[in-house]
């Protein structure tokens, strides 16, 4: 990893460690939108995403001394947000139903279709929870199937098959919208 990227917020983080609320606000201001979007993509609920965002930043600033510049601040914060989302899902016992069936439509010929981001994200929101969470973690957030299996407590092969089914379901939803 490029050391420049890892240390980009070093002075700001040092101020946060001293309890400087203006520095905390600057980090919050810089990362809150992206972290909210991440939480929303995983939870598919605005209120829950807002709650997770606040909890994640409280935890972040409470534990800022544990940040060791081994990754970027954004990556460290993202991990906190993802963990909070997964814990929220487990606590609420949100049904991460892992579907065994594919949409009835089989795509023999791939059409080249251009989708706008809004339409794609709207379709992702329509996915069943299990599909949406795995697709978001893998495709959008860049976790590999091994990491997803550990996070969700499922096998790596289940993560792979659910991701594959999620892509099929997403294609189906996009073809209907």
CATH number, domain containing residue 169: 1.10.10.10
Q: How far apart are the C-alpha atoms of 52 and 64, rounded to whole Å? A: 17
Residue 150 has which token pair? 């550990």
Q: How far apart are the C-alpha atoms of 35 and 41, rounded to whole Å? A: 10
Q: Do 88 and 121 lie in a common domain?
A: no
Q: Do 7 and 88 lie in a common domain?
A: yes
Whether the CB-CB separation of 137 and 42 falls below 8 Å is answered with yes
Q: Do 9 and 88 lie in a common domain?
A: yes
In this structure, is residue 8 part of a structural domain? yes
Q: Do 12 and 84 lie in a common domain?
A: yes
- Whether pTM > 0.95 for this model: the answer is no
**136-164 per-position pLDDT tens digit:** 888 888 888 988 888 888 899 999 999 99
Q: What is the three-state SS of 36-103?
A: HHHHHHHHCCHHHHHHHHHHHHHHHHHCHHHCCCCCCHHHHHHHHHHHHHHHHHHHHCCCCCCCCCCC
The alpha carbon torsion through 140, 84, 62, 78 (nearest 10 deg) reads -10
50: domain CATH number is 1.10.1740.10
Specify the pLDDT at position 39. 94
Query: How many domains are contained in the chain?
Result: 2
In this structure, is residue 109 part of a structural domain? no
Q: Do 80 and 136 lie in a common domain?
A: no
The alpha carbon torsion through 133, 138, 140, 142 (nearest 10 deg) reads 140
In this structure, is residue 99 part of a structural domain? no
Specify the pLDDT at position 96. 52
pLDDT-flagged residues of the chain (< 50) = 1-2, 101-113
In this structure, is residue 103 part of a structural domain? no
In this structure, is residue 80 part of a structural domain? yes
Specify the pLDDT at position 112. 43
In this structure, is residue 138 part of a structural domain? yes
In this structure, is residue 106 part of a structural domain? no
Specify the pLDDT at position 119. 85
Q: Do 18 and 88 lie in a common domain?
A: yes
Which of the listed residues 77, 92, 107 is the one where a domain comes to its end? Answer: 92
Specify the pLDDT at position 50. 96
The residue range of the domain holding 21 is 3-92
In this structure, is residue 107 part of a structural domain? no
């Amino acid at each position: 990893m490029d050391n420049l990227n890892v240390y980009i917020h070093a002075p700001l983080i040092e101020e946060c460690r001293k309890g400087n609320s203006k520095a905390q606000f600057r980090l919050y201001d810089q990362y809150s939108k992206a972290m909210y979007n991440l939480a929303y993509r995983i939870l598919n609920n605005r209120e829950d995403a807002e709650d997770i965002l606040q909890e994640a930043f409280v935890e972040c600033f409470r534990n800022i001394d544990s940040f060791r510049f081994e990754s970027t601040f954004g990556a460290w914060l993202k991990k906190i947000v993802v963990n909070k989302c997964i814990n929220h899902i487990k606590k609420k016992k949100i049904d991460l139903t892992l579907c065994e069936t594919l949409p009835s439509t089989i795509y023999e010929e791939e059409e080249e279709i251009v989708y706008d981001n809004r339409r794609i994200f709207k379709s992702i929101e329509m996915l069943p929870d299990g599909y949406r969470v795995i697709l978001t973690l893998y495709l959008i957030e860049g976790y590999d199937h091994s990491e997803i299996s550990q996070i969700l407590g499922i096998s790596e092969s289940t993560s792979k098959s659910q991701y594959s089914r999620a892509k099929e379901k997403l294609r189906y939803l996009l073809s209907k919208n």
